[in-house]
Amino acid sequence: MTSLHTTRVRRRRLGVAAAAAGLFATLLTAGTAVATPDPGDAPITPKGISAGQEAEATAAIRSGEIPGVDEIVHSPNIKHLTNVPKDALKGTNSDLAFQGKYAFSGNYDGFVIYDISKPSSPKTVSQVLCPGGQNDITVSGDLLFLSTDSSRSDDSCASTSQPATEKSSWEGMKIFDISDKRNPEYVAAVETACGSHTHTLIPKRSSVYVYVSSYSPNEAFPDCQPPHDGISVIKVPRSAPEEARIVNFPVLFPDGGNPGAPANPGVSKTTGCHDITVLPSKDLAAGACMGDGLLFSIEDPVNPKIIDRVQDNVNFAFWHSATFNQGADKVVFTDELGGGGAATCNEAIGPKRGADGIYDIVGRGDHRKLVFRSYFKIDRHQADAEVCVAHNGSIIPVKGRDLMVQAWYQGGISVWDFTNSSAPKEIAFFERGPVTLDRVTTAGSWSAYYYNGHIYSNDIAKGFDVLRLDDRRTDPAKKVRMSELNPQTQPDYFAR
């Protein structure tokens, strides 16, 4: 594998063949988009591409427009410190969480704990086999939380894949005691309607509240019946996590939410939320809910109250995730066009679909509104064999500026500035070239987060990456130190 510094962001004109092959039309007319498919115990079957698409990508590599297969390229202000390949857990890498000197890596087969006290040389502390896609992961104190959104035979870590049509099948939230990082102990499980695709923590002194996001009900699923228009709220006593239980299922869409097609072609029908980000210091939450974006109050975490709701029925297909800026007057929503399984970073798709949407929060109290300002999308076109999509990221804490690092699957990692909501711009990047050129593959960065001076990325296929960002615009963030970070539970970085 080679590494190349590049001093310019190249505007690549890739993807014309995709339109001819019908991909563009497919994306525009698709019904409900879904997040990365839960494969159960079987791998996702790669999709083939046309000879024209493969030839176009080969020519782009030869001309230097895109990196070669597995080649690493990055801007001069980013240094790739190390990569830790997958070891015992071979499944898809998913989300990340942090606590002290540890990083916690979700994987469809379980989770891994790394010692990152020396970022350039992470050490594997433990690996826990506990299959259940997608194993979205968070930590709080001595507790670790793991989402299961694939139908399983039971709630144990020895479960097997089982159809959701069977009443005995289990999906939901698993809870571990991580007081001994070398020997995590599975201590509790809570079954939730439609499983737990992602979850978000609201930590309190004696308990942790968990917002469980799930979606796509079906009349054939005994434990996931329509309508599914809310979220599960779990209360977990810190001193007795085995007593964790659901305390509410607040309805967020009393009118049913976005109807999707045919009223709104190419937009997902809202049947729940994909991801929620909370800002506890401001009692605020932002929900990315399939066909809708939400702003709501969590002053009473058991009974969240909707403040505003927005839709984008022109350019957004699937509202995937949300990030507040530090000042709590902006929200970045991401669009998972193609469901995390398509090549959407090319000329055929363009700069507005499959992008981030930047919204200002205007007004006060219950009268606050989300006001759209602009889109941001990486302009480094990817090959039609590369799944590229706007995915998970976090704020880079610099006073007076709105900076973010974000994962884009095979589009790599982007660092960008949205201080001016109407004119966002990329300031740094890191990416790998295609895994292969003969078929569409799901790979690249699932999550990229800034934690205590470094960027950490969970690459779906390649493992755990650590990068250092050296730039006068972001350097002040190196002085900010956190004892814990779950990116969907955003901290007040500058609280005294």
pLDDT for 247-280, tens place per residue? 999 999 999 999 999 999 999 999 999 999 999 9
Q: Are 354 and 377 in contact (CB under 8 A)?
A: yes
- For residue 101, CA distances in Å to 372, 457, 459 come to 38, 16, 20
Output DSSP code: residue 486: B
Torsional sign, CA 368, 370, 373, 378? positive
What does the pLDDT read at residue 50? 82
What is the rounded distance in angstroms from the CA atom of residue 321 to the CA atom of residue 392? Answer: 7
What is the rounded distance in angstroms from the CA atom of residue 36 to the CA atom of residue 91? Answer: 13
- Among 331, 337, 332, smallest CA distance to 318 is for 337
> Residue 17: in which H helix or E strand, if any?
helix 16-21
B/e letters for 451-476, b = 16+ CB within 10 Å, e = fewer, are bbebbbbbbbbbbbbbbebebebbee
Q: 426 lies in a domain?
A: yes
The 3-class secondary structure across 30-62, one letter per residue, is CCCCCCCCCCCCCCCCCEECCHHHHHHHHHHHH
What is the rounded distance in angstroms from the CA atom of residue 463 to the CA atom of residue 72? Answer: 14
- Other beta carbons within 10 angstroms of residue 105's beta carbon come to 28
- Count of positions (residues) in the chain: 496
What does the pLDDT read at residue 35? 34
What does the pLDDT read at residue 301? 98
What is the rounded distance in angstroms from the CA atom of residue 383 to the CA atom of residue 28? Answer: 19
Q: 494 lies in a domain?
A: no
Q: Tell me phi and psi for residue 491, to 5 degrees.
A: -85, 165
Q: Are 49 and 439 in contact (CB under 8 A)?
A: yes
Cα 353 → chain centroid: 17
Q: 492 lies in a domain?
A: no
Give 258's Cβ-side CA count (13 Å radius).
31
B/e letters for 411-446, b = 16+ CB within 10 Å, e = fewer, are bbbbbbbbeebeebebbbbbbbbbbbbeebbbbbbb
- With a CB cutoff of 8 Å and minimum separation 6, the contacts of 185 are 176, 177
The DSSP bridge pattern shows strands 185-191 and 170-177 to be antiparallel
Q: 462 lies in a domain?
A: yes
> Residue 208: in which H helix or E strand, if any?
strand 207-213
What is the rounded distance in angstroms from the CA atom of residue 358 to the CA atom of residue 330? Answer: 7
CATH label of the domain that carries residue 181: 2.130.10.10
In the chain, the number of structural domains is 1
Q: 490 lies in a domain?
A: no
Q: Which residues span the domain enclosing 37?
A: 3-485
Structure tokens at 315: 């350019």
Q: 137 lies in a domain?
A: yes
What is the rounded distance in angstroms from the CA atom of residue 66 to the CA atom of residue 489? Answer: 35
What is the rounded distance in angstroms from the CA atom of residue 91 to the CA atom of residue 97? Answer: 18
What does the pLDDT read at residue 52? 81
Q: Tell me phi and psi for residue 340, to 5 degrees.
A: 75, 25
What does the pLDDT read at residue 22? 39
Q: 179 lies in a domain?
A: yes
Spans of the chain, pLDDT less than 70: 1-46, 496
As a dihedral over the C-alpha atoms of residue 296, residue 299, residue 304, residue 305, rounded to 10 degrees, the angle is -50
Tokens 């507790």 — which residue?
Answer: 143
What does the pLDDT read at residue 41? 34
Cis peptide bond N-terminal to 250, omega within 30:
no
What is the rounded distance in angstroms from the CA atom of residue 440 to the CA atom of residue 48? Answer: 6
Q: 496 lies in a domain?
A: no
Longest dimension (CA), the chain: 60
- For residue 215, CA distances in Å to 123, 223, 250, 351, 453 come to 36, 12, 14, 28, 35
Q: Are 308 and 368 in contact (CB under 8 A)?
A: yes
Q: Please, what is the end-to-end C-alpha distance for the chain in angstroms? A: 45
